[in-house]
A and B are shown apart, each in its own frame.
Chain A
Amino acid sequence: MDLIATALPALNDAFAMILQPHVIGYLILGVCMGLAIGVFPGLGGIAGLSLLLPFMFGMEPLTGLALMVGMVAVVPTSDTFASVLMGIPGSSASQATVLDGFPMAKKGQAARALSAAFASSLFGGLVGAAFLTIFILAARPIVLLFKTPELLMITIFGLSMVGILAGRVAIKGIVAACLGLLVGTIGEGASAGELRMSSYDWPYLTDGLKLVIVGLGIFAIPEIVALLRQDKAISDRAPLGGGWAEGVKDWWANKWLSVRCSLIGVLVGVIPGLGGSVVDWIAYGHTVQTAKDKSEFGKGDVRGVIGPESSNNAKEGGGLVPTLLFGIPGSGSMAIFISAIALLGTGQIEVGPSMLKNNLDFTYAIVWLLALANVVGTLICIAASGGIAKLTSIRFALLAPFLFMIIAFAAFQSNQDIMDLVALFAIGFLGILMRRFDWSRPAFLIGFVLSDPAETYANQAVQIANSRFRKGFGEGLEYIFSPIVIVLIIITVISVVVGLRQAKNIMAEGDVKSGTKRAPMIFLLVVFAYVIAAFWNASLIPDHASADRVFPRFVASVGLVGCAILMIQMMMRPETHPLFSDREKQDAEDNTFGLWPTLAWFAGLLVLTSLVGFILALGVFLFSFMIWRAGKSPVFAAVYTAAGIAFICSMASLLNRDFPAGMLQSAVDLPWPLK
């Protein structure tokens, strides 16, 4: 009763604060900026908030909050465009949307997929806000129940989603996840700072690979290259009429799924330390597991869009709990959000444990600004989706260079090192091969995302548990097997068993025919070699730093067993077995261009960038691509090139960024943007 007595007036104050014309005006401004940035793959809340930061100093707190919340809230809405239309995860929040959204776009149902996604996003955002309004009062003690063993179990539960996304040959999916986990361990270990698969002579890898690069590389590059090779539009048939109304109807038909996934989103978002980057996968897994007819997943089932999209906006709301109540940012954009709040007004809003006591009205204002931003953003997106969906009927050769330019720019933001582009290209090549041989890319990505939390929490839990066991056996057991952990273990076991049984039906990579034995075998051997190398490399870590050794060695051991089993199976089974899936055979008729000539274009851009810098290389790349690959006139090519370069330059100048420099730039001093 006490709680309600404090909450109701604060809620009342919050609404009085929000519902002022200028606050709503700033919110809409923020929403529009967020949509404009979120639409470009790889650029999310971090880029947008950095853009706003300079204006935050001394700004009236409420308007500043409206602007920032408006921007943050809609990024997981607008990034859906790239996920559905291009098969490119716009941000980590909508990776799972790609699985069914993109096949729908290919079937000409882009508008339907988009509106279903937006309706789910909106609903998720509102459910999230409503839930938070009550939950936030009781959140602190509940969140504190999630200690390291609980966090580890949630991470493992996230990893168990690999089961359902493993593809037709389960062991291939498991090896793919191991590979993702191993790639995630590259660089300095979190515990003792020992290097894994990297060296100080090669400093780039010591910081590890960033999610934006791996996400774009593993999903975006393979799709761009595959579509380019077919030289058609994305959608292979005319768009169906009345798409958007149908999408909303789809959402309504699955409203309970949407409710469940929204709650998953808020709850996982609430837990600090996981950052919610796997929320969409968990929601996808849940969607598949609870569906009766699973045959269409991965080929364009609208439920595969509704599930993850309901969860990702709700997650933003959940993420406010660790951010506001503990002062611990759940994600990169939340970290900037915290530091921006300190700049507002006279700095009177102090994020952290005192937030609820001193600023409950502001807390509620933020929660409901977020909900309101979702409403505004969704309406704008639905209005725009019909038009934007037409992109899928444009010949892809005209889109691809532009997309590649944006992706390269986004990737370069992670370290501002030309190696970012090399890494993007390398991971992209791995993605192409995984797609070709039907190795689950979602499994790889889940492994990558969860590698760091899995390793860190495992090490910490073991260390703390040991200390408890030294105090007493009972105390140790109590620490490890708390009721929450036991419940999570049960859920995980069920999810794995059910998942593996159903995995055969869910083709994360679509239906892929088998080819000859040779190519899939070679790819397996290369993966095998990397896993062996990772095992050997981890074994070199000395005993005093064993915390950095255990995890990569364990994962590599699992990977080695998996590879060995695959090897034996490959020797025993006939060529027609799904083990030997090879997309080159399947798409042979559709492909106008070979893989290597297509890749050579991008490799050319990379090499040229290392010589003369990004902008000059981009000019040459865009122009010659239009002339020789797209077969356009020099005038068209020149206009296209100018537009592309003007676009990327204005983007970079807004965000205060430079472009990758080449050897030319180290020899000669050039003005921006050439420098």
Chain B
Amino acid sequence: MSLSIFTRRAALALAASAAMATGASAGGHGINLEGKTVEWIIPFSETGGSAKWANFYAPLLSEALPGAPTVVVKFMPGAGSTKGANWFQEQQYEDGTVIFGSSGSTQFPYLLDDPRVKYEYNDWNVVLASGTGGVAYLPPALAEKVAGGGASAIAGEDFIYGSQGATRLDLVPLLAWEMLGLNVEPVFGIKGRGDGRLMFERGEANIDYQTSSSYLKGVTPLVEAGTASPWFSFGALDADGNITRDPTFPDMPTFKEVCEATDGCETSGEKWDAWKAFFVAGFPAQKMVFLPAGASKDAMVTYTKAFEDIKARGDFAEISEARLGVYPQMTGAEATTALASATQVPDSAKSFVVNWLSERYGVTLN
């Protein structure tokens, strides 16, 4: 991406957030969706994680929106979600009955200048950003060696890691393994992180990571049974954009801490910046809800308020914990900040990753 485009994006984002801020404070009239059907476009199939997320929110959103419209989740899978996103890019705002749910898998191709991407995040209007975290874990024997220290103790091990592909979210853990100096061979072709966990359980893979909620459901029982041990979490972001301990796993060191304790792993410089940029794009701001280009202030206010009302429900913590995990659900200015950090990656970080992908995995995206 050339500098000029970058500036344009930044300017647009600024303008968007300014518009949002005024919109929210002016407390516009809002829109009434009575008798209408809101279509929530998910650019994946009905079987994935985004489907789960949207299916959780859809009935709540229907209750929270003025006029209690029917909210239906529509699946538009294809080309690693770029097909649905390209379709959404062509939509113009009409009456607020079309919204779009994007995911890390939509953000990464955008960041990596995948030729299939014809969408522009800064044209869209974010109303919700849902985050997640990630946890890396090891077989107990190996975890013992690294307990309380850096990764140097296991630098000589041969690791096998089940991966969905180097350009997907797996980019973040793959880069992390490499920064820690681990000798990890990714085995590609698994269909989801669950398959990666299964490979670990079968003893074929000996390093793995899961998102927070999958970790709680799928790996905690293994930890209790003594067949897996947590190593580090990827961490969470504080309001200033610093990596802190994941509130869900306060006892686990973050990747940053492990990196600092490991010889040869730097928590500054272009490699670190690249890792952090893609981590932010893939985890703390993983899933977002957008209104299309040209959305009115009223519509933004209405949707933002609806999601705020959902968060404010007395039972929200309880009903969301089992289904989404303990993730931050951001609205308003927070969501805009999350969007900016997820889609505005410094050119240097981007070119580092593009280079790394092509040198390490031979992947070129053009």
Contacts and interface: CB of A to CB of B under 8 A. Distances in A.
A464 B47 contact: no
A350 B158 contact: no
B19 interface: no
Contacts of A463: 160, 185, 187
Nearest to A455: B189
The contact size tier of chain B is: 35 or more
A327 interface: yes
Contact of B217 (A58, A350, A467, A543): A350
B264 interface: no
Contact of A343 (B46, B56, B77, B192): B56
A283 B162 CA distance: 32
Contacts of B52: 339, 342
Interface stretch (B24-32, B198-206, B235-243): B198-206
Nearest to B220: A354
Interface stretch (B125-133, B318-326, B339-347): B318-326
A190 B165 CA distance: 8
A583 B194 CA distance: 48
Interface stretch (A200-208, A422-430, A555-563): A200-208
Contacts of B77: 207, 415
B363 A192 contact: yes
A53 B55 CA distance: 8
A192 B188 contact: yes
B221 A353 contact: yes
B115 interface: yes
B188 A547 contact: yes
Contacts of B8: none
Given A203-B116, A415-B77, A467 B158 contact: yes
B83 interface: yes
Contacts of A339: 47, 51-52, 55
Contacts of B14: none
B218 A353 contact: yes
B198 A328 contact: yes
Contacts of A273: 195
A460 B362 contact: no
B147 interface: no
B363 A193 contact: yes
B74 interface: yes
A193 B189 contact: no
A329 B193 CA distance: 12
A57 B315 CA distance: 14
Interface in A320-334: 326-329, 332
B1 to A, nearest CB: 19
B218 A415 contact: no
Contact of A544 (B202, B218, B318, B362): B362
Interface of A: 46, 50, 53-54, 57-58, 144, 146-148, 190-193, 200, 203, 206-207, 272-273, 326-329, 332, 335-336, 339-340, 342-343, 346-348, 350-354, 357, 415-417, 455-456, 459-460, 463-464, 467, 470-471, 542-545, 547, 656
15 contacts: A53-B55, A57-B55, A58-B319, A191-B189, A207-B79, A272-B198, A273-B195, A327-B194, A328-B194, A346-B319, A351-B217, A352-B217, A352-B221, A464-B160, A545-B362
Given A144-B202, A342-B52, A354-B217, 12 more contacts: A146-B202, A147-B203, A200-B115, A206-B79, A326-B198, A327-B194, A327-B217, A332-B45, A342-B56, A351-B217, A463-B160, A544-B361
Interface of B: 45-48, 51-52, 55-56, 58-60, 72-74, 76-79, 83, 115-116, 158, 160, 165, 167, 185, 187-190, 192, 194-195, 198-199, 201-204, 214, 217-218, 220-222, 318-319, 321-323, 361-363
